[in-house]
Amino acid sequence: MSAITSAIRQSIRTSIRSSFGITVDERPALITSLFSAGEQGAFYIPRPVVNGVQSLFQDAAGTTAVTADGDPVGLMLDQSGNGNHATQSVSAKRLIYRTDGTLHWLENSGTGQFFETAAIDFTGTNKMTVVAGLKKESDDSTGIFVELSPISDTTNGSFCLFAPSSNGSNSYRIFSRGTVLSAPQHGVFATAPDTAVISLIADIAAPILTLRRNSSVIQTSTGSQGSGNYGNNPVYIGARAGANLFFEGGTHSLVIRGAKTSAGDLDRLEQYTAIITGITL
C-alpha cells in the first residue's frame, strides 16, 4: 500500500472513529456518494436511531420503537433513500436487537429468523456491490446472509452471499446469475466464529464475481454469468426465501448497491463497515 493510500485510509478511519455514534459522521456522506445518482439498493444499519431518526421498530408496521437491548425487530428502515425497508411480520421470526453499549447488531439464532423486502427493481443494472458487516457463529449448517430472489441457483438476475456454504466447506460463498449461475467454490479460509466485512462484487456482462473478506480479495471468478440484468425480486436477509438455510450470527450492517462501486468508495464503505462491526482492517 502506498504512503498516500495509507494516509487517506487513516484519515477516513479517524474521521469515522471520531464521530462514531454521533449524528455528524461519515455515514451521510457515504450514503450520498453511493446512492445520490439514483442507484437502486439499500443501506441497513441496525441501530434504534440513525441520523436522529427512529430506524428500528418492533413490529412490521413501525408503530412500536426498538429502544433496548433484547427488543425484537420487525422493521429495519433502509437508509439509502430508496425505501427498501426490511420487515418481518411473524413475531417468532424477528431478529433481536443487541448492543454492548458501543456496537449494535441484530442477533439471528438460526432457527427461523429473517427479514424480507418488497421486490427491489434491479432491472436497470448488471452490476452489483454488496458489503456486509457480520459475525458468523457457526459452520455446522449452510446459512444465507443475503439473497436477491427466492433462490439464486435458478432465478435469473440474482445473487447470494452464504455464511457459510456446504455446511462449512466454504467459509463464505457468493453466487451471481444473469442467465447462467456463477457459483465458485472458495474453500475454508475463515472458520466460525468469524467477525468480518464480507463483500460481493459482481458484473454479469464482464463477467466478474469477486469475494472479499476484510478488504482482501479471496477469489475472483470470471466464469460466465450469462447475460441480462439483475431482477425485480425481494431481498431475503438471513434465510432462503424465509424457508430454510437460516443464518446463525449477528448482522452489524448491510449495503446493497446495484452499481459498480469505485475503488475509493468501496474502501470507504468497507472501512466504515469494519468500524461499526468492531474490527480493524
Quick one: 206 or 243, whose CB is closer to another protein?
243
The least CB distance from residue 168 to another protein, in Å, is 10
The least CB distance from residue 70 to another protein, in Å, is 3
The least CB distance from residue 9 to another protein, in Å, is 35
Quick one: 60 or 281, whose CB is closer to another protein?
60
3-state SS record for the chain? CCHHHHHHHHHHHHHHHHHCCCCCCHHHHHHHHHHCCCCCEEEECCCCEECCEECEECCCCCCCECCCCCCEECEECCCCCCCCCEECCCHHHCEEEEECCCCEEEEEECCCCCEECCCEECCCCCEEEEEEEEEECCCCCCCEEEEECCCCCCCCCEEEEECCEHHHCECCEEEEECCCEECCCCCCCCCCCEEEEEEEEEECCCCEEEEEECCEEEEEECCCCCCCCCCEECEEECCECCCECECEEEEEEEEEECCCCCHHHHHHHHHHHHHHHCCCC
Quick one: 8 or 96, whose CB is closer to another protein?
96
The least CB distance from residue 166 to another protein, in Å, is 5
The least CB distance from residue 191 to another protein, in Å, is 17
Quick one: 69 or 121, whose CB is closer to another protein?
69
Quick one: 31 or 76, whose CB is closer to another protein?
76
The least CB distance from residue 105 to another protein, in Å, is 14
Which residues contact another protein by CB under 8 A?
59-60, 67-72, 74, 89-94, 96, 109-113, 138, 140-142, 153, 162, 165-167, 169, 173, 243-245, 248
Quick one: 4 or 68, whose CB is closer to another protein?
68
